[in-house]
Chains A and B, each alone.
Chain A
């Protein structure tokens, strides 16, 4: 507990010690919301940071829904809400020809198929007005076309498959797809579709109509975010609380301090070196462990219960080095415990990891005991113009 309090005092010197996100007298900074690390709406999440968002029809401040259990994701941009939990009626986007705009948005282990709609969103005290969002799933949707299902991955359109009530994508990019989706023809990656009785056809989608990174649309504190999570005992904890700060260097509580800036390649990756191996690395609060390499390279066996996790006989102290495109280099020490020996009731597990050969995924455990900044593309910050990670 002492460590958490000290962290807060150092990081937010001019803020009276009080719970994150509480309303307060003038002079208190209003750019922070709490993050809940717990089992979440499915009852079995671990290493997931959840936030609460308020969803209103555009232009309304009543008839709104306050929705918790929304996964905070630095790996994507855009707000996505399960149709099955949404209680607010939001206007659906249509093309000029009157077709519904439906999106097939890919993640590394699945996709979300659902309508693009417009909403006013409030997160803490920050407002995003008339913002495109995705409503995932729903009985009134046409079937996802072959070009969407050909990834072979799972449609994450239920609580069961998505693992959360929604995804709050507050990552590196301003929109979820970007320029590539604005073009007609075969260069279009095929994420947005115009759906009518005749079926769904890939459609170009102007940037302003794509689901937006909500932070970029805020009137202020809109150049990125900082996620601060507490240090956690090695064996883990039942639950924890962290903080999500909006803006980088825009208030007294969100400066970079001693954090180092790592610039990224055009896809949002840096380089991670583990021993002799060098792979693409990315920092992703939407992943729930350290996922890297394989048994052959690391000599760490996988678990009898699952090849998805490492099970060394005793906890290993490991290190890897992140290198930004700017040449900034830093070594990260982390632990990997025997995943099968970890508590099944803890939702915070700092030493869980598993194999993946060609990339180094720094999931949520990387954030424990750190302040991790995500700067949005094209936005100015005291550390330079985004996109970058800093920690």
Chain B
């Protein structure tokens, strides 16, 4: 994504690349030692470009998010579980937060709550 790389942190199992767009959206990419991005997390006043971040998974996310909204059961944070990809979005105008991850690619010993 367009943005300044702010920092890289991490441990044995993965690295976190944190970027901030000019409009203040912070995106963190979680990268395994093999170089695979297994998760992203974001926060900001609007959404990051998920078309870019989710790549080939974007269309399926878009379709399932649409189906959930049209079913109109839950009004609240969006939880899109596609099995191989999970996308979650929460917040309210001025403060959105979310993450997307591929459960099958999370490194051994790393919990889902590491992606945030």
Contact = CB atoms under 8 A, between A and B. Distances in A.
Given A163-B75, A308-B68, A355-B79, A180 B24 contact: yes
**Overall SS of chain B's interface:** mixed
A187 B93 contact: no
Contacts of B36: none
Interface in B59-116: 61-62, 65-66, 68-70, 72-79, 81, 87-97, 99, 112-113, 116
A306 B73 CA distance: 10
B45 A161 contact: no
Interface stretch (B5-13, B27-35, B47-55): B47-55
Given A108-B78, A356-B76, A178 B94 contact: yes
A75 B45 contact: no
Contacts of A190: 23, 46
B74 A267 contact: no
B46 A106 contact: yes
A282 B113 contact: no
B4 to A, nearest CB: 11
Contact of B75 (A48, A151, A280, A357): A48
Contacts of B51: 146, 149-150, 152
A178 B46 CA distance: 12
A107 B45 CA distance: 10
A95 B96 CA distance: 28
Interface in A130-162: 146-147, 149-154, 156, 160-161
B75 A288 contact: yes
A120 interface: no
A287 B116 CA distance: 22
B76 A363 contact: yes
Interface in A177-203: 177-178, 180, 185-191
B97 A180 contact: no
Given A151-B50, A189-B45, A284-B92, A359 B23 contact: no
Given A189-B46, A358-B116, A268 B92 contact: yes
A286 interface: yes
Contacts of B93: 75-77, 105-107, 169, 171, 173, 176-177
Contacts of A154: 62, 65-66, 69-70
A108 B91 contact: yes
Interface of B: 2, 21-25, 44-47, 49-52, 54, 58, 61-62, 65-66, 68-70, 72-79, 81, 87-97, 99, 112-113, 116
What 9 pairs across the A-B complex have the smallest Cβ distances?
Answer: A267-B95, A186-B22, A151-B47, A75-B92, A287-B76, A356-B77, A288-B75, A291-B76, A152-B50
Given A108-B77, A152-B47, A280-B95, 5 more contacts: A109-B77, A109-B78, A180-B24, A190-B46, A358-B116
Interface of A: 42, 44-45, 47-48, 75-77, 105-110, 146-147, 149-154, 156, 160-161, 163, 169, 171, 173, 176-178, 180, 185-191, 267-269, 280, 282, 284, 286-289, 291, 296, 306-309, 354-359, 361, 363
14 contacts: A75-B92, A105-B93, A109-B75, A152-B62, A153-B62, A187-B23, A291-B77, A308-B68, A308-B74, A357-B99, A357-B113, A358-B99, A358-B116, A361-B90
